[in-house]
């Protein structure tokens, strides 16, 4: 059976509600054929949730009213949070002199819808490997990842276009494993984090690329250099993405574009800096110069990989260790291990791991019986930060 977009959201509503309650400290007291009895942590308040509960019913509204009262919130806020519990949300807000409440000039609105989709689709491709220009060669696996993405209704009072990307439920283990805790108390440091879901990889790449475009192309307020453009490409930007941004802010009635990123609560950790980006209209010239400079080179380029740190190993009392990142390599998501040498590099690696930074590494990739490896990284740092000498 093929579900409509609305049915797909409603279909997971009961599970989302259970995940939402657990996330906010509720525990299951008993469970039977008719539903589940939940208890709120310190408050001791009990709530019976019927099996098969669905949005749009009196039972759903009444249940959310009780939750909202306990949280000093409103039914509408709780309803939105439950529905979007396993979704990453990007709010696109076009500032314009002709925005009136929840209305916007048709031409500006068209640019916003079209541009937001192009930004997402290009991110789905570059999430599987950096591309300075996609030129129509969009990633089929990337397109499949975002096939359930959807636009929500604009927020009341301003023209905000929410773009929702579903995140695979329960894939990411956000807690510390027992082996990691024992390692900290005893000898070696060894900590892992859950794999990044395909949907989160796309939205993280989009936010990361938008942030890089702002910091590297717009904020310096000067002609973009080849190095600056390359930094944005490494972060996930492409000619198509930057052109889409240009098309939005260069629209006559648009004064700027603001993007706010809201992450699915249990979709995995995310770097603290990926929260919002503002693209002013005055940046249109810089964006135009940047995408015009995004031309594929015929030169043989070094292998540059980027991705979150999946595991960090540091033997007690030693000045060496290893980091394993999850990165796109030759069109597939692979695990790549990088040696860490020296106290300075190790200190940085621990900081990066705690901050959930996306790591960039440059060097020769070598296949081994235990997976891919870069023996001598030429560049090792979080995306967007200056180079760290690794030898």
Residue in 114, 127, 120 with CA at minimum distance from that of residue 146: 120
Q: What is the pLDDT of residue 182?
A: 40
- Coil vs helix vs strand at 65: helix
Residue 66: both structure tokens together: 């009780």
DSSP collapsed to 3 states, 202-214: HHHHHHHHHHHHH
Are the beta carbons of 190 and 312 closer than 8 angstroms? Answer: yes
Residue 179: both structure tokens together: 């082996």
CA 353, distance to chain mean position in Å, is: 16
Are the beta carbons of 310 and 195 closer than 8 angstroms? Answer: yes
- Kind of pairing between the strands at 332-341 and 371-374: parallel
Residue in 192, 112, 206 with CA at minimum distance from that of residue 353: 192
Sole residue written with tokens 């009635």: 253
Sole residue written with tokens 């797909």: 8
CA 178, distance to chain mean position in Å, is: 27
Q: What is the largest CA-CA distance in the chain?
A: 66
Alpha-carbon dihedral of residues 202, 206, 211, 217, nearest 10 degrees?
130
Q: How far apart are CA 233 and CA 363, in angstroms?
A: 17
Strand partners, 367: 372
Phi, psi of 85 (to 5 degrees): -60, -35
Are the beta carbons of 88 and 172 closer than 8 angstroms? Answer: no
Q: What is the pLDDT of residue 388?
A: 43
Are the beta carbons of 83 and 55 closer than 8 angstroms? Answer: yes
Q: How far apart are CA 83 and CA 245, in angstroms?
A: 29
Q: Where are the beta strands (DSSP E) in the chain?
A: 26-32, 35-40, 46-50, 87-96, 150-151, 160-166, 189-192, 254-262, 276-280, 304-314, 320-329, 332-341, 358-362, 365-368, 371-374, 379-382
Q: How far apart are CA 253 and CA 276, in angstroms?
A: 22
Residue in 280, 343, 336 with CA at minimum distance from that of residue 314: 343
In whole angstroms, how far apart are CA 386 and each of 76, 321, 338? 44, 22, 18
In a structure prediction context, what are the per-residue pLDDT tens digits for the chain, which is 391 residues long?
344 444 444 457 899 999 999 999 999 999 888 999 999 977 788 999 999 999 999 999 999 999 999 999 999 999 999 999 999 999 999 877 666 666 777 888 888 999 999 999 999 999 999 999 999 999 999 999 999 999 998 776 567 899 999 998 876 544 434 344 444 434 677 777 788 999 999 999 999 999 999 999 999 999 999 999 999 999 999 999 999 999 999 988 888 999 999 999 999 989 888 999 999 999 999 999 999 999 987 765 678 899 999 999 999 888 999 999 999 988 889 999 999 999 999 999 999 999 999 999 999 999 998 889 999 999 999 987 754 434 4
Q: How far apart are CA 69 and CA 176, in angstroms?
A: 33
Count of CB atoms within 10 A of residue 375's CB? 12
Residue in 90, 89, 83 with CA at minimum distance from that of residue 20: 83
Are the beta carbons of 9 and 83 closer than 8 angstroms? Answer: yes
Residue 92: both structure tokens together: 């696109």
């Amino acid at each position: 059976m093929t579900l409509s977009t609305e049915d797909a959201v409603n279909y997971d509503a009961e599970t989302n509600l259970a995940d939402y309650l657990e996330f906010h400290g509720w525990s299951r007291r008993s469970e039977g054929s008719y539903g589940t009895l939940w208890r709120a942590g310190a408050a001791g308040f009990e709530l019976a949730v019927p099996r098969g509960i669905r949005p749009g019913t009196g039972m759903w509204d009444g249940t959310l009213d009780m939750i909202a009262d306990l949280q000093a919130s409103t039914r509408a806020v709780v309803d939105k949070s439950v529905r979007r519990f396993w979704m990453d949300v990007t709010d696109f807000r076009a500032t314009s002199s002709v925005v009136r409440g929840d209305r916007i000039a048709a031409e500006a609105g068209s640019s916003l819808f079209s541009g937001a989709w192009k930004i997402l689709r290009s991110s789905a491709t570059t999430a599987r490997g950096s591309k300075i220009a996609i030129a129509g060669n969009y990633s089929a696996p990337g397109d499949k990842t975002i096939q359930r993405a959807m636009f929500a209704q604009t927020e009341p009072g301003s023209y905000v276009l929410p773009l929702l990307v579903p995140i695979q439920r329960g894939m990411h283990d956000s807690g510390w494993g027992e082996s990691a805790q024992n390692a900290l108390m005893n000898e070696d440091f060894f900590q892992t984090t859950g794999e990044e879901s395909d949907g989160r990889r796309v939205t993280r790449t989009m936010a990361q690329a938008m942030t890089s475009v702002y910091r590297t192309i717009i904020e310096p307020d000067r002609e973009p250099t080849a190095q600056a453009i390359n930094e944005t490409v490494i972060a996930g930007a492409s000619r198509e993405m930057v052109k889409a941004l240009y098309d939005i802010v260069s629209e006559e009635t648009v004064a700027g574009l603001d993007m706010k990123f809201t992450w699915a609560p249990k979709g995995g950790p995310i770097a603290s800096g990926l929260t919002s980006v503002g693209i002013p209209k005055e940046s249109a010239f810089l964006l135009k110069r940047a995408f015009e400079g995004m031309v594929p080179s015929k030169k043989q380029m070094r292998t540059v990989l980027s991705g979150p740190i999946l595991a960090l190993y540091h033997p007690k009392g030693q000045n060496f260790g290893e980091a394993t990142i999850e990165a796109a390599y030759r069109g597939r998501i692979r695990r790549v291990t990088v040696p860490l040498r020296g106290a300075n590099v190790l200190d940085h690696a621990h900081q990066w791991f705690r901050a959930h930074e996306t790591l960039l590494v440059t060097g020769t990739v070598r296949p081994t019986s235990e997976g891919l490896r870069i023996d001598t990284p030429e560049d090792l740092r979080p995306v967007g930060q200056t180079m760290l000498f690794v030898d």
